[in-house]
Amino acid sequence: MSEQASGRPPAIVLDSVSKAFGSHVVLDEVSLTVRHESIMVMLGPSGTGKSVLLRCLVGLLRPDKGRVLVFGEDVARLDPERPRDREELFRIRRRFGMLFQDGALFDDMTVGENVAFPMRMHTSKSEAEIRASVDDKLRRVGLPKAASKFPSELSGGMRKRVAFARAIALEPDIVLCDEPSSGLDPVMSATLDELILELHRTLGMTFVVISHDTAEARKIADTIGLLAKGKLVTYGPTEQVLRSNHPALRQFFERSTDGPIQVL
């Protein structure tokens, strides 16, 4: 049954979302729908508004225009300065797990404490429950024995896995990953892609993954978007997007300097 037929709103709907900083238009009338339990990869050159888009999804930034519907609720309408709105915003935000681009771990806490942190902040779980849940999350990211280690004792790839464990600590409905493989070597990136697929398969969460890596998009996405100069150039099922002849898309996939995306 389609989502529309079931009456359940999609995980995310952006409806003509625009955001500018001063005269710099970063998002220009972006509209898209993310289905439940899909993996959407948003590609785009650096500085094109991908992280701004993620921040709009969780209400960390408010668009100037448009609606941001998360499970049917308009996040863009909520004003964090107003107590009632703020409460609602926090409730919605708890349905997200976030792996930020610069999402550092707390270096003075063990891996286990890092993963437990959101549970201590947002739940009333007992210590025993927290410990069991931390073990479960670390096992899921392939680090069953890491709880008592400190982040400094781990490789970059392992730290990313811990960040993933922390992002799924509250068993969110939607996981947002901002360039999860940036700064990692190709093999580590590939294992991270496998991890996303595995978490998706076993936990059935919806993933929104920001990337500038077309190989990653091919491998994990069922839906691909390309953002360039604030416009959603293309958006749709992976096979369809890969077949598309849109010049910006071709340029991006062919890693060419020649095309509509200009960096200088």
CA 35 – CA 147 distance, rounded (Å): 34
Token duo for residue 158: 């392992």
> Residues 2, 4, 6, 46: which binds ligand ADP (CB under 6 A)?
46
Q: Is 110 in the site for Mg ion (CB under 5 A)?
A: no
From residue 26 to residue 45, the character string flagging contacts with ligand ADP as x (rule: CB under 6 A) and all else as - is: x-----------------x-
> Residues 51, 110, 133, 223: which binds Mg ion (CB under 5 A)?
51
b/e map 203-226, b = 16+ CB within 10 Å: eebbbbbbbbbbebbebbbebbbb
**CA distance readout (Å), 21 to 25, 56, 59, 61, 102:** 6, 13, 16, 11, 21
Q: Is 50 in the site for ligand ADP (CB under 6 A)?
A: yes
- Is residue 236 a contact partner of residue 41, using CB atoms and an 8 Å limit? no
> Residues 16, 47, 107, 254: which binds ligand ADP (CB under 6 A)?
47
Q: Is 234 in the site for Mg ion (CB under 5 A)?
A: no
Q: Is 208 in the site for ligand ADP (CB under 6 A)?
A: no
The length of the chain is 264
Outline where the chain has alpha helix (H). 3-6, 50-57, 83-93, 111-122, 127-140, 156-167, 186-203, 214-220, 238-243, 247-253
Cβ-based nearer residue to Mg ion, 50 or 166: 50
Q: Is 234 in the site for ligand ADP (CB under 6 A)?
A: no
Q: Is 52 in the site for ligand ADP (CB under 6 A)?
A: yes
Provide, rounded to whole angstroms, the least separation between the CB of residue 47 and ligand ADP.
Answer: 4
Provide, rounded to whole angstroms, the least separation between the CB of residue 139 and Mg ion.
Answer: 30
Cβ-based nearer residue to Mg ion, 103 or 247: 103
Q: Is 21 in the site for ligand ADP (CB under 6 A)?
A: yes
234 binding partner (options Mg ion, ligand ADP, none; Cβ < 5 to 8 Å by kind): none
Rg (CA), the chain: 19
**CA distance readout (Å), 72 to 2, 39, 51, 63, 148:** 16, 19, 22, 17, 40
From residue 5 to residue 44, the character string flagging contacts with Mg ion as x (rule: CB under 5 A) and all else as - is: ----------------------------------------
**Residues near ligand ADP (CB under 6 A):** 21, 26, 44, 46-52
